[in-house]
Amino acid sequence: MVNVLFITHQEKRKEFLSHALGPEYFILTCDSEKKIDNLVRLVDLAIVDFSFLEWEGLNVVDRVKQCDDSTVILGVGRQVEKEIIEAARKRGLAEYIDVDKNINSLASVVREKMEKKMLITRMEEEKLSRDPSHSFLSPDKEATLSPEECRFLEEMSRLLIHGYNLDELMEFFLSLLSKMFGISRLCIILKDRVKKTYGIRACLGITEDAKECVELHPERGLVKFLAGEGTVVTKERLAKADFKAAYEIRQDMKLIQSNVAVPLSPRGELIGILGLGPKITGDKMSRREIRQVFLFCNQVGLAIQNLLFYEEMYCQKRYIESVLKDATSGVISIDAEQKITTCNPRAQEVLNLDESPNLIGKDIRRLPSPLGDILFQTLTRGILYGRKEVYVPAIKRWLGISTSQVKNDKGEVSGSMMIFTDLTPIKHLEAEKEKIQKRDFLAQVAVRLSHELRNSLVPIKSLVELMPSKYSDEEFRKKLFSGVTKEIERIDNLIQRLVFFSQPVHLDKIAESLASLVDEAVERTKKERLRDEKIELNVSYKEDDLQVYVDKGAMIEALGHIVTNSMEAAPEEARIDIRCERTDKLPEALFLGNHKKTVSGEPTEYVKIEIRDNGPGLPGENADHSDIFDPFFTTKNRGVGLGLTISQSIIEEHGGSIVPLSEPGKGTAMVVYLPRYQSPF
C-alpha cells in the first residue's frame, strides 16, 4: 500500500481522490503548513489541490520540498491558470492533471511515479546491503553490559514487578529507551480490539497529527511480516526480502517514522510493535543495541499483554456492574459455597434489603424465603425455573423468577443465578380487573335474567288477570295451562344454563355411535322448535360406523345448541345441512391460538361434524368470529346468549374443538372436531 498526502482545504475531496486512485493507496489529508511539516515525512508522494489553493499552492510545493526533497509532487485541479502551473513546475511539481480532461490518467501517472521511486529505493537498499558495517547479522565483539545498561535493566525490572498502569508502563519504557540509546522518535503500536487494526498507543517525538494518521492493517505490510517472521525489521533485512513486500513494509515504517521495528510477541502472538526512529546524533543503531531492545521487548511485551488482559477484564467488569446497576430486574447469584456473589441495587430495593447494603459474601439464608431455597435447588439439583411466579411472605410481594446454573470454563457448576421482576403491581391490576369483570358479568346476568324473566312473566300475568272472568271457558283454561307450563319450562331451562357455569362439568363417557348422537340431537331440537315444518334439514354420513368416546347427554346438548342457533339464524326458507366424516387434517386456526383450547396432539384421527345454514352469516368484530362464544353474546331479542358458550365448553372438555366459518351473505358453518374412538378389539 502506497501512502499519499493530499493537500487541500476541502476534506470531502478525499473521497474523490480515493475513488480515482483505488484501494491500494492510503490517503492522508492536511490543510495547514504545520500539518505539512508533520505528515510529509510519512509519505513518498504528495498531491496538491490547485483548484482551491491556486497561487497559495506554490508555497505548499516549496514547503513540501523543504521538508523532504525526495517527495514526488503532483498537482490536480480544474481550470487552473497556466501561469500558476508553470511556476509550480519550476519549484518542483512533477506533473499536473486537469480533472476535467485527464482524470482517468491520474491513477496511471501516480503508479508510474511510484514505480520510479521504488526502483531508486531498491538501488539504495542494495547498495546499503553490500556494506558489512551496517549488517544486522555482523558479529558483535562487545559482550559485557555497561553501567547504564545495568541501571536500565534494574529500573525496568522494578516497573514490571510493580506497574499496573499500561500507559505509565509504555511511557516509562519509551523514556528509558530514549535516554539509554539517544533515540529521537519512538512509538508503541497496539492492536485496536474494535477496528482490528494497529495504531499508535504511546509515542515520543511524534506529533498528534502524525499519530492519528497511523492505521496498519494485519493482512499486509509491516504487521503481516512481523506476525509471520517474529523478528526485527531493519532496512538491511528489507533488502533481502521480496521487493513488493519490502516496499509495503517500508511505507508502513515511514508512516510510523521508524528505522527499526521490533515485534511485541509474547506467547507467539503479535500484540504490538515497537518503532525506533533515528538517534539524536544521526548514528544508526548497532546490532548489539537492536538485540538488547529485542530482548527487553520480550519481557515488556508479556507485561503489556497482561495489562491489556487486565484492562479488558476491568472494562468488562465495569460494563457488567453498570448494566446490573441500571437493570430494571433484580439479579442475585451465589457460588458453590452458597455465598452471595451478586446482588444488584434493584434486587435490594425489591427485597427491602437496603438495611443490609453489603450482602456480598453472606450466606443465602440472609435472603427472604423461598428465594434461598430456589437458588439452592438450582445449584445442587439443577432445577431451572422459567418465569415462575412466587409469593414472598416476608415482603408481601409477588415475584416472577427465572434461574440458571453458572458454569466455569471446564463445564463444572460453580454457582447459580436468579433474575426476577416485581409482579406485585401487575397482580394488583389483575385483581382489580377481575373485580371489574365480575361486576360486569353480574350486570350482564342481571340484565339478561331480568329480560328473560319479564318475557316469561308477562304472558303469565296477562292470563292470570283474565282468569276470574274467563276461567269457566274451557278453551281459556287449556290456553292458560299450556302457556304457564311453557313459560315455566323456559324459566327452568334458563336456570339450568346458569347453573352450568357455577359448577364443574362431570362427564360419564362411553363409546357412542356418531350417527345416533347427531340424529337424536336433531330430533330433540325439532320437537322444541315451532318452525320445524318450514326448515329443510339434511344429515349425511360418509361412514356409518364412526364412534366417539363421549358423555351422551352432554354431547347431545352441545350439538342441540348449535343446531338451534343455525335454525334461528336461517331465513324463512331455511336449509340446514349436517355432514359427518372422518378426517386426519385439522384447520390451521386450531394451532394459531385463536381459540381457547386446541385438539389434543395424541389422536391421529378425528370425526368432523359440519353444521351449515343458509343464513346471513355471523356478526362480530373479530375476523375469526371467536366473540360468538363469549357469555351473553347474542343478536336476538330473546335468549341469554349462553348456548354456544355451553357447547364450546362441553366439546373442549371432550378434547375437541369448534371452529366457525362464515362469510357475509353466504351462511355459516359450525365445524366440530372430536377425537375418533377406535375399539381396541
Same domain? For 544 and 667 the reply is yes
Tens-place pLDDT, residues 503-521: 666 788 898 899 999 998 8
Q: Is the pLDDT of residue 127 over 70?
A: no
Same domain? For 417 and 441 the reply is no
Same domain? For 385 and 439 the reply is no
Sort strands 198-204 and 186-191 into parallel, antiparallel or unpaired. Answer: antiparallel
Tens-place pLDDT, residues 595-605: 444 444 455 68
What's the confidence (pLDDT) of residue 578? 92
**How far apart (Å, rounded) are the C-alpha atoms in residues 74 and 76?**
7
In a domain, 351, yes or no: yes
Same domain? For 151 and 300 the reply is yes
**How far apart (Å, rounded) are the C-alpha atoms in residues 68 and 72?**
9
Same domain? For 112 and 179 the reply is no
Q: Is the pLDDT of residue 126 over 70?
A: no
In this structure, what CATH number is given to the domain that contains residue 227? 3.30.450.40
What confidence category does residue 317 fall into, taking pLDDT thresholds of 50, 70 and 90?
confident
Of 443-447, 467-471, 548-552, highest mean pLDDT: 548-552
In a domain, 50, yes or no: yes
- The alpha-carbon radius of gyration of the chain (Å, integer) is 46
Which of the two residues, 57 and 141, has the higher pLDDT score?
A: 57
Closest of 393, 458, 397 to residue 424, by C-alpha: 397
Residue 509 is placed in which grid cell?
363417557
Residue 251 is placed in which grid cell?
511505507
Same domain? For 368 and 517 the reply is no
**How far apart (Å, rounded) are the C-alpha atoms in residues 618 and 143?**
103
| Strands of the sheet with 397-407, listed across from one edge | 340-343, 330-335, 413-422, 397-407, 388-392
Overall domain count for the chain: 5
What's the confidence (pLDDT) of residue 594? 44
The contacts of residue 657 (CB under 8 Å, 6+ apart) are 590, 595, 597, 598, 599, 651, 672, 673
Q: Is the dihedral of CA 227, 29, 37, 54 positive or negative?
A: positive
Mean pLDDT confidence for 216-227: 90
Mean pLDDT confidence for 101-121: 76
Give the whole-number percent of the chain exceeding pLDDT 70: 82
Q: Residue 399 is inside which H or E element, if any?
A: strand 397-407
In this structure, what CATH number is given to the domain that contains residue 671? 3.30.565.10
Residue 362 is placed in which grid cell?
453472606
Tens-place pLDDT, residues 641-675: 677 888 888 888 888 888 888 877 788 889 999 99
What's the confidence (pLDDT) of residue 497? 67
**How far apart (Å, rounded) are the C-alpha atoms in residues 422 and 371?**
13
Task: Report which residue type is found at 130.
Answer: R
Cβ count within 10 A of residue 99: 19
Same domain? For 155 and 298 the reply is yes
In a domain, 142, yes or no: no
Place of cell 488482559: 309
Mean residue pLDDT across the chain: 80
Cα separation values, 631 from 408, 507, 561, Å: 55, 22, 14
Tens-place pLDDT, residues 171-202: 888 888 888 888 989 999 998 878 888 999 99
Last residue of a domain, one of 261, 287, 311: 311
Task: Report which residue type is found at 360.
Answer: I
In a domain, 652, yes or no: yes
**How far apart (Å, rounded) are the C-alpha atoms in residues 269 and 305?**
10
Give one DSSP letter per residue of 616-634, joined into a string.
S----SSTT-GGGGSTT--
In this structure, what CATH number is given to the domain that contains residue 471? 1.10.287
**How far apart (Å, rounded) are the C-alpha atoms in residues 350 and 333?**
16
Cα separation values, 167 from 184, 458, 491, Å: 19, 97, 91
What confidence category does residue 447 fall into, taking pLDDT thresholds of 50, 70 and 90?
confident
**How far apart (Å, rounded) are the C-alpha atoms in residues 577 and 614?**
9
Same domain? For 80 and 65 the reply is yes
Same domain? For 122 and 175 the reply is no
First vs last C-alpha separation in the chain:
84
* Three-state DSSP state, 202: strand
| Strands of the sheet with 535-541, listed across from one edge | 535-541, 574-583, 606-613, 668-675, 657-662
Q: Which residue range is the domain that position 536 belongs to?
A: 510-675
* DSSP assigned state of 363: B
Mean pLDDT confidence for 102-121: 75
Same domain? For 259 and 121 the reply is no
Residue 505 is placed in which grid cell?
362439568
Place of cell 481522490: 17
CA dihedral of residues 674, 676, 677, 679 (deg, nearest 10): 180
Query: Do 532 and 526 touch, CB atoms closer than 8 A?
Result: yes
Q: Residue 278 is inside which H or E element, if any?
A: none
Last residue of a domain, one of 258, 279, 311: 311
Query: Do 216 and 222 touch, CB atoms closer than 8 A?
Result: yes
Last residue of a domain, one of 311, 337, 362: 311
Which of the two residues, 98 and 441, has the higher pLDDT score?
A: 98
What's the confidence (pLDDT) of residue 624? 58
What's the confidence (pLDDT) of residue 20? 78
Task: Report which residue type is found at 70.
Answer: S
Cis, peptide link before residue 370, omega less than 30° from 0: yes
Place of cell 492519528: 212
Mean pLDDT confidence for 225-241: 83
In a domain, 115, yes or no: yes
Same domain? For 295 and 345 the reply is no
What's the confidence (pLDDT) of residue 595? 46
In a domain, 157, yes or no: yes
Mean pLDDT confidence for 311-338: 84
The contacts of residue 436 (CB under 8 Å, 6+ apart) are none
What's the confidence (pLDDT) of residue 599? 45
In a domain, 321, yes or no: no
What's the confidence (pLDDT) of residue 160? 58
Mean pLDDT confidence for 235-256: 82
Sort strands 260-264 and 272-276 into parallel, antiparallel or unpaired. Answer: antiparallel
Mean pLDDT confidence for 298-310: 83
In this structure, what CATH number is given to the domain that contains residue 367? 3.30.450.20
Tens-place pLDDT, residues 336-361: 999 999 888 888 888 888 656 678 88
In a domain, 320, yes or no: no
Mean pLDDT confidence for 320-334: 84
Residue 582 β-bridge partners: 607
Which of the two residues, 505 and 381, has the higher pLDDT score?
A: 381
What confidence category does residue 593 fall into, taking pLDDT thresholds of 50, 70 and 90?
very low
Residue 641 is placed in which grid cell?
346468549
Same domain? For 182 and 276 the reply is yes
In this structure, what CATH number is given to the domain that contains residue 50? 3.40.50.2300
